[in-house]
Amino acid sequence: MARVPMPEQPVEERMSNFHEVPLGYSPEQAIKEAKRCLQCGESQCTVNCPVEVDVKKFLKELSEGRFREAFLTIKESNPIPAIAGRVCPQEDQCEGACTLGRVGSPINIGKLESFLGDWAMENGVEEDFSIQEIPQKVAVIGSGPSGISCAVDLRKKGYQVTVYEALHKAGGVLQYGIPEFRLPKKVVDEELSNLKKIGVDLMLNTIIGQNLSFEELREEYDAIFICTGAGAPRFLGIQGEELNGVYSANEFLIRTNLMKAYKFPEEYDTPIVVGDKVAVVGAGNVAMDAARCAMRMGAEVTMVYRRTRKESPARLEEVHHALEEGLNLMELVNPVRIVGENGWVKGVELIRMMLGEPDDTGRRRPHPVEGSEFMIEFDTFIEAIGTSPNRLFLERAEGLEVNRWGGILIDENLQTSIEGVFSGGDAISGGATVIQALGEGRKAAKSIHEYLRTARAPKEYK
């Protein structure tokens, strides 16, 4: 039996809006899809999940129409199912391990997960638990996926948890990075509202290391979880990056997603300038997001990638949607310099690449083909070549050891070089998935609980 197809917004329709592309399963469709599960003995889906959601169990419950139970089963391991179901690279995780995938198409686990998350929100279904208060205080720096999961777990154990967020909206990369058409901000806000409901304090507009110091936090809290993400853009370092029309993908996405520049000037005040012909460098999820945003703002977008589509680290669904939406994916090319005219991007000089031996990521390493340079005209140039941990915090966190590229050093329990200070998410890994960050948040919560339970008495509280 084939997968129950996911209804989607038709291409021509969705190119003029930022609404979500998949329209979601109806209850009947969801039950039908869940029924396909063989309930096989291996449960590789769970083994392959960074937070070990009991997939088999929730599919069984869902297939029997027991939505509430199915939802609560997911919630035991994943505090944000409506989000994770939308952004996880399922093909590399649960769905990639699905037995059905060997003979046909795997269960659409991601969409069933988000179906249940959405259903719970619409029907006001929540976890039922009571919190036994513990006076010890924990600060969580950053409100992205790992911060959320760490805060929720610690709060459920009874700790007094405060989450600090630098921006004016919570969610970290979920808010500023991932576009509306992939992850509606209503879903983010809704799943985050749960934090407040269970008594987590959320401090927006508070930049640790800037308007509140790390030392002050250390004095006030019994333990700290640093999940400041990898928010600093990397630039290629080529000629012409000062030109107008050159964006880091971060800037392009922050303007678009956090500041809603695509609704400028009618509803929002932050502008964005998108030319007719846009080049996006890179081919990961962020590159796909930037490209698809630009296409929705009317641009013709060419993705320039030094490897081939096969090596792209983006989610399959994103590549599929982007190509469907008219993305021109140019493989085996790399920008050499950006050429300007009157201070604006005019074109890009590219060089052809060829693939050599595999590197440490297992992907074949690209090499430039000498003398193969050529020019293409563009008026906007977006660099999506990765991000680094934000140095604003790191430079001002005394005693915190980092590695060569700024990732925070941790031990096997996610504790940093400072006792009682833990870290997880992109701040340690440099740029991974939402679900991995979420898993690390949960692991950190366990370590922090262990640390606070055994290591010390609570600080004196005023």
Partner 1 sequence: MVETGFRVTSKGLLNSDDYLIEVEAPIVSERIRPGQFVVFMTHENGERIPMSVQKTEDGKITMLIKKLGKTSLELFDYEVGDSLYAVIGPMGNATPIKRYGNIVWGSDLVCGYAENWAHCNALRGVEGNYVISMQTFPSKEDVYLEEELRAVSDEYYITTLDGSYGRKGHYLDILEELLDEGRVDIVFACGDIGRMRDLARLTEKYGVPARVVLRQIMVDATGMCGSCRVFIDGEMKLTCIDGPMFDAHKVDFDEVINRLGMFKDAEGKAKERYQRQRGNR
Q: Between 153 and 165, name the residue whose CB sits nearer to partner 1.
A: 165
- b/e 378-389 (16+ beta carbons within 10 angstroms → b): bbbbbbbbbbbb
Asked whether 173 and 144 are in contact (CB, 8 A), the reply is: yes
Q: Kindly state whether residue 392 participates in binding partner 1, applying the rule CB under 8 A.
A: yes
Residue 210 binding partner 1, by CB under 8 A: yes
- Segments in 49-144 forming alpha helices (H): 55-63, 67-75, 81-87, 94-97, 109-122
Q: Does the footprint of partner 1 cover residue 133 (CB under 8 A)?
A: no
Asked if 189 touches partner 1 (CB under 8 A), the answer is: no
Euclidean distance between CA atoms 418 and 217, whole angstroms: 13
Where on the phi/psi map is residue 316: left (φ > 0), alpha (ψ -120 to 50), or beta? alpha
Q: How far is the CB of 168 from partner 1 (least distance, A)?
A: 5
CA distances from 124 to 11, 127, 347 (A): 32, 10, 52
In the set 260, 337, 346, 364, which binds partner 1 (CB under 8 A)?
A: 260
Identify the bridge partners of residue 341 per DSSP, sorted by sequence position.
Answer: 344
Our CB check for partner 1 shows the closer of 255 and 442 to be 255
Rounded-to-integer distance, Cα 394 and Cα 389, Å: 8
Among 143-151, 259-267, 283-291, 400-408, which window interacts with partner 1 (CB under 8 A)?
259-267
How many Cβ atoms from other residues are within 10 Å of residue 265's Cβ? 9
Q: How far is the CB of 127 from partner 1 (least distance, A)?
A: 27
Q: How many residues bind partner 1 (CB under 8 A)?
A: 45
Region from 89-97, 126-134, 387-395, 413-421 binding partner 1, contact rule CB under 8 A: 387-395
- Minimum Å distance from CB 203 to partner 1? 5
- CA–CA gap between residue 451 and residue 448 (Å, rounded): 5
| Chosen residue from 90, 250, 415, 416 binding partner 1 by CB under 8 A | 250
207 is a contact residue toward partner 1 (CB under 8 A):
yes
Judged by beta carbon, residue 337 or residue 365, the one nearer partner 1 is 337
Cβ-based neighbours of 219, under 8 Å, separated by 6 or more? none
The answer to whether the beta carbons of residues 277 and 300 sit under 8 Å apart is: yes
Choose the binding region for partner 1 from 8-16, 127-135, 264-272, 359-367 (rule: CB under 8 A): 264-272
Residue 205 touches partner 1, criterion: CB under 8 A = yes
* Sites of contact with partner 1 (CB under 8 A): 166-168, 176, 203-207, 210-212, 231-233, 235, 237, 241-245, 247-248, 250-251, 254-255, 258-260, 263-265, 267-273, 343, 390-392
